[in-house]
Structure 1
């Protein structure tokens, strides 16, 4: 089952995001290699600077998706103001369709 991890950064945390990005990217690469990552990318503010993340993962249940979210280096660095984990159904333009 797919889950969307909707993550909003704390205000004024751009430098923390930039500093933590290499370990975050490595974490996502590991999820991808394990077949757990559907897609991911940052939300952008009006100036085009990242201010959050959308990560869609394959997980057996919400608890597993929450564990994936909690292990993200961005989460471990306390970058996020909030993280919402929601079951998601990919209907249009799904690569495997």
Structure 2
């Protein structure tokens, strides 16, 4: 099954939104079988975005996954980019 990288940037000053929705987001990652995931960190180690690698049949499936992420539903992201990704190492 193809892999997709879901690359998200948080809206400014939305750290509390991230923290409030983190348990639901992590459960969603586990329930949907995300391949790997983690937050981007700024200079003081504050979370400000996400990288999630998922399996999906096609781009439409990856977009549906991203739309249903609890973070997205909470309005956390200013930008979401989805790229088909080819794992070479790891």
What stretches of structure 1 move > 3 A for 4+ residues in a row?
A: none
- 1:2 maps to what in 2? 3
Two-structure CA RMSD over aligned residues (Å): 0.5
Q: Tell me which of 38, 43, 47 is aligned to 2:44.
A: 47
For residues 48-67 of structure 1, give each alpha carbon's deviation from its aligned partner in whole angstroms, at most 9, with x where no partner exists.
01000000000000000000
**Which runs of structure 2 are paired with 1:1-97 in the superposition (5 Å)?**
1-32=2-33, 37-93=34-90
Contiguous gaps of at least 5 residues in structure 1: none
Q: How many residues align?
A: 89
Give the structure-1-normalised TM-score.
0.90
Shift of 1:23: 0.6
- Structure 2: gaps of 5 or more residues: none
